[in-house]
């Protein structure tokens, strides 16, 4: 079971705590979650918004907090830049999504995937096949490899690490915003990538503030009928998807 506080994605998440591919064994990974530092007087904390609050910083790792915060802030700036590019690609004003990401619900997940154990259950992977829940994911991975992405033909393609680059995933909110013009990409992680050692990665899940209304953007609305997805808030969508993945691991 995860030791994460109820409703929070902050702190250490142990091995076998999550099932990303429903119906498969629990994932073979452990991670540490970080988010925007929000004190008790922050409006989201006072309102009881899920995952609002303070981080759980390790007391025995000098420099960890400073390094994490130095990475987190510019990555959020990069996320805002990418969302402006997405807006332009949809024939929208460059700043169409700016308000939604003024105070993003961004989560940084530091991940360790151990080598694939000999006694692993059938179809038990580092991360089972899934799409990301939110807007975009900015992933930094080490040279070990193991990330695979499903192409349009249903084939799994290795996302071979390229030094000095990020892997950018579109998440399920992009599908909602574009009425399926853009898709969230299915991906998975094979432990060790054949290297027989730990794999490390850092995923920044860059999502709108939880009260953002997610609905089809004007340039993607169908000429007839209604969009495929009913409007919802970003918080409602992400909360439900996370609940499902951790409920599966606990069952």
Tokens of 228: 């495929």
Using the structure block, give the residue that is written with the tokens 């961004």.
106
Give the pLDDT confidence score for residue 193 in this predicted structure: 58
Q: What is the pLDDT of residue 89?
A: 98
In a domain, 13, yes or no: no
4, part of any domain: no
* Confidence (pLDDT) at 6: 45
Q: At 187, which CATH number?
A: 2.60.120.330
How many residues would you count in the chain?
251
* Buried-state track 47-74, b at ≥16 Cβ within 10 A, e below 16: eebbbbbebbeeeeeeeeeeebeebbee
**pTM > 0.95:** no
pLDDT, position 2: 44
Would 5 be classed as within a structural domain? no
Helix (H) or strand (E) holding 207: none
Instruction: State which residues form the domain around 131.
Output: 22-250
Are the C-beta atoms of 203 and 171 separated by less than 8 Å?
no
Return the bridge partners of 127, or none: 189
Report the alpha-carbon distance of residue 13 to residue 30 in Å, rounded. 6
Does 17 reside within a domain? Answer: no
Q: How many distinct structural domains can be found in the chain?
A: 1
Q: What is the pLDDT of residue 230?
A: 94
Tell me what pLDDT residue 8 has: 67
Q: Which of 212, 208, 229, 211 is nearest to 220 (CA)?
A: 229
Taking the chain, what is the end-to-end CA distance rounded to the nearest angstrom?
10
Domain assignment present for residue 143? The answer is: yes
Tell me whether residue 16 is in a domain.
no
Is 9 among the domain residues? no
pLDDT of residue 1: 33
* pLDDT values of the chain reduced to their tens digit, one per residue, 251 residues: 344 544 568 999 999 999 999 999 999 999 999 999 999 999 999 998 888 999 999 999 999 999 999 999 999 999 999 999 999 999 999 999 999 999 999 999 999 999 988 889 999 999 999 999 999 999 999 999 999 999 999 999 999 999 999 999 999 999 999 999 999 999 999 986 556 789 999 999 999 999 999 999 999 999 999 999 999 999 988 888 878 777 666 65
Q: How far apart are CA 132 and CA 92, in angstroms?
A: 24
Write down the pLDDT at residue 248.
Answer: 61
Q: Establish if 8 belongs to a structural domain.
A: no
* The pLDDT value given to residue 196: 76
What pLDDT does residue 249 have?
62
Query: What token pair was written down for 8?
Result: 């929070």
Q: Which residues contact 146 (CB under 8 A, 6 or more apart)?
A: 113, 126, 189, 190, 191, 192, 193, 194, 199
Q: What is the pLDDT of residue 5?
A: 46
């Amino acid at each position: 079971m995860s030791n994460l506080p109820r409703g929070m994605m902050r702190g250490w998440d142990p091995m076998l705590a999550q099932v990303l591919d429903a119906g498969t064994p629990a994932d073979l990974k452990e991670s540490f979650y970080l988010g925007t530092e929000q004190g008790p007087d922050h409006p989201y904390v006072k309102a009881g918004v899920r995952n609002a609050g303070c981080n759980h910083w390790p007391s025995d790792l000098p420099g960890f907090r400073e390094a994490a915060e130095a990475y987190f802030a510019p990555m959020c700036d990069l996320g805002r830049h990418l969302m402006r590019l997405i807006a332009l690609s949809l024939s929208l004003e460059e700043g169409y999504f700016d308000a939604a990401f003024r105070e993003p619900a961004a989560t940084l997940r530091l991940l360790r995937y151990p080598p694939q154990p000999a006694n692993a259950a059938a179809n038990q992977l580092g991360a089972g096949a899934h799409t990301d829940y939110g807007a975009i994911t900015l992933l930094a991975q080490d040279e070990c490899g193991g990330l695979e992405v499903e192409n349009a033909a249903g084939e799994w393609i290795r996302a071979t690490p390229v030094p000095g680059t990020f892997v950018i995933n579109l998440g399920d909110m992009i599908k909602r915003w574009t009425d399926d013009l853009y898709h969230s990409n299915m991906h998975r992680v094979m432990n060790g990538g054949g290297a027989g050692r730990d794999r490390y990665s850092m995923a920044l899940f860059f999502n709108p503030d939880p009260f953002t209304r997610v609905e089809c953007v004007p340039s993607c609305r169908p000429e007839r009928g209604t969009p495929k997805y009913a409007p919802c808030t970003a918080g409602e969508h992400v909360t439900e998807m996370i609940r499902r993945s951790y409920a599966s691991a606990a069952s």
